[in-house]
Chain A
Amino acid sequence: MTDKERNKAMSYTDNNNTEPELVQNFRVISPGRMVAKRFFKSKLSIAGLIMIIFVFIFSFVGPLIIDATWGYKETQVFKIERNTDMVTVAQFTGPDGRTYDYYDKSQTVIIFKAPPSAEHWLGTDTSGFDIFTRLMYGGRISLVISFIVIFLETLVGIILGGLAGYFGKWVDQLIMRIVDVFACLPYLPILLVLSAAISSIETIPAEHRIYYLMAFITLMGWTGVARIVRGQILMLREQEYMMAATTTGISSIHKIFRHLIPNTMPQLIVSATLGLGGVILYESTLSYLGLGVPFPRAAWGSMIALADPSRGQEILAYYPNMWVPAGILIVVTVLGFSFIGDGLRDAFDPRMKR
């Protein structure tokens, strides 16, 4: 028997002649790590994570870099002169009776709508703002709004849904009927009415409109969370551990917020992640209609609004650099949140992953 083999044998029959501990042979994984492992196994969730990290760096770190290197600001106007040909066409009937086309080609100087260049990667827009810089600031406002709104919605939803699910009876009836009423209100039209009313009131400064906007989106969106929380709590409160909690004599508030709500967290995290994309879509729709983030602040929605054909086809046809990047960023952000949300749902609920 060589030394090596003896050592090996020794290690099996420990010094104290006891069995080796279980921990040495099995790796114990915490539920959290198990979820993380399942999450990272899916390619789509990793793709989503990368997309969201990219958008975050782009819109929060990006402006700092731009400011440090070029010194561009959100609403800085660049006047870049360039000559363009202007062609006017007219028809006239000559003395010989035939119709002639008359072209007049002249040169005009325009200072806005500069094409992409080394200094302005995506050119400048109709107001002479640097598009690339504004994309970053637009992302910032979209992300901030969506996170605040989702946080508020979740908060309101947890409180009302928790009360309804825990107390049942008339509390449940009352709260759930309110939820039903809010859920049957048309989401976008009501948001539009509220935003239109707010922007028509002159005593409210334009910068404050964003706060009202967030309140309105929250007001219209909390019902989903309330339903999820209530449903979960109805199921959880019948379980044995809640009986055990009751026998220890703790208060209702503690039971709800310490024992019930934490168990609804997986569902809430999933719905919140999926909800983030939805809020971004609503915010950009409002901005597109000019009822969201007010000019001159940048928003992805209002950047796409430049291509609105009812204001003339010029930008839609010839300046895709003004509106396509903003649209792509919206899609990337919303898609990223969807991928992460779906990945989280599969990770939290292994039954779905077969």
Chain B
Amino acid sequence: MLKYLLKRLGLAIIILLGASALIYLLSMLMPADYIDNQTSAALQSGAMTMEDVMRLKELYGLADKSIGGIAKSYITWLKSTVSGDLGFSFLYGKPVTTVLSEYIWISFMIAFISYILQIIIGIPMGIKASVSQYSAYDYTVSVFAMMGTALPSFFLSALLMNVFAIKLGIFPLQGLTTATTVFAPDAHLQILLDKVWHLVLPITVLTLLNVGGTMKFTRTNMLEVLNSDYIRTARAKGLSEKVVTYKHAFRNTMIPLVTSLSGMLPGLFGGAMITETVFAIPGIGYMALRATRQGDIPFIMGYNMFLAALTVAGMLISDIMYMVVDPRVKLS
């Protein structure tokens, strides 16, 4: 068990190293004058000096394009990344790690609530659809699930904004707080409610987009289990359909479900770029998109490394959960 874990961990580190090299190479693709373009404003305002720019170029391997130069600067960059220093964002004027830790929580909150809703709505719907396969309910739910995955997030957001924010005026259009009202500093509850009010539409968008996946996943796995021999035995024993479905079938469907759902957990910190941007919610996705547009290389590289690490962590967690949940899995 421990040996297996160590092996997986080693693999994860190798993958992350590879990803870091690739992300680094991507920044090399950018032309050198790109940094000049992007830093000219900061230079003029005095936020950066010419030396800073040269150091930046050196750090991102843009000053010396020979192989030796690239390797040297990559190692410098890797060393500081491993020690937790992701550099200094020139768009936000703060260390990248500070920006990340500042804006991550709002993204996590949105993603987490929508994740819970996804589970609450998607799993029961998937079970019901699989029990009555090819019924009208099954078809309707499947088509809706697919529609969720086919909808571009920006289009769904625009539709919801048009109906609920503009036509009906129930929810605010954009932002996280109402700019026109001033709250007393100690009115924490009101401030919180105001924020929740602003987050209803974005959470709805994320839930609608993702609930279909959970539902379909549940349905497919339930169908697989429902066709196994022991389900027939359970039915032959005269157990009620309810017991067969929820006790015998669903418990086994839980294995892939828990594995995949727990693997999603780290990804909740990554932020929803498009949805956050459309609703102008200052989460990590919104900040990252702004940074990408402005060519804030330290932030972009830090953010992408962070996302890659989250993905690897997710893979690791679902591996471990698979072992924990399924007693049949024996490791060698």
Contact = CB atoms under 8 A, between A and B. Distances in A.
B307 A189 contact: yes
Classify the secondary structure of B's interface with A: helix
A201 interface: yes
A287 to B, nearest CB: 10
A323 B227 contact: no
B174 A177 contact: no
Nearest to B21: A181
Interface in B287-319: 288-289, 292-293, 295, 300, 303-304, 307-308, 311-312, 315
Interface string B154-170: 11001101100011000
Contacts of B311: 183-184, 186
A183 B22 CA distance: 12
A185 B304 contact: yes
Contacts of A320: 162
Interface residues of A, number: 50
A201 B142 CA distance: 44
Classify the secondary structure of A's interface with B: helix
Interface stretch (A233-241, A255-263, A331-339): A331-339
A193 B159 contact: no
Interface stretch (A78-86, A92-100, A300-308): A300-308
Nearest to A304: B155
A317 interface: yes
Nearest to A197: B30
Interface residues of B, number: 55
Nearest to B31: A201
B147 interface: yes
A189 B22 contact: no
A112 interface: no
Given A181-B15, A334-B150, A354-B227, A192 B22 contact: no
A181 B18 CA distance: 6
A310 interface: yes
Contact of B19 (A185, A200, A310): A185
Contacts of B154: 285, 288, 301, 304-305, 308
B161 A309 contact: yes
A186 B159 CA distance: 27
Nearest to A278: B149
B29 interface: yes
B254 interface: no
A289 interface: yes
A182 interface: yes
Contact of A313 (B34, B166, B307): B166
Contact of B273 (A188, A309, A324, A339): A188
Contacts of A289: 274, 289
Contact of B152 (A183, A194, A301, A324): A301
Given A196-B295, A200-B37, A288-B152, 8 more contacts: A181-B22, A185-B304, A189-B292, A194-B26, A285-B274, A305-B154, A326-B155, A335-B146
Interface of A: 44, 177-178, 180-186, 188-190, 192-194, 196-197, 200-201, 277, 281, 284-285, 288-289, 301, 304-305, 307-310, 313, 316-317, 320, 323-324, 326-327, 330-331, 334-335, 338-339, 342, 352, 354
22 contacts: A44-B143, A177-B14, A184-B15, A184-B19, A185-B19, A185-B23, A189-B300, A190-B304, A192-B292, A194-B29, A196-B295, A281-B150, A285-B154, A301-B154, A304-B155, A309-B280, A313-B173, A317-B162, A323-B155, A331-B147, A338-B150, A342-B146
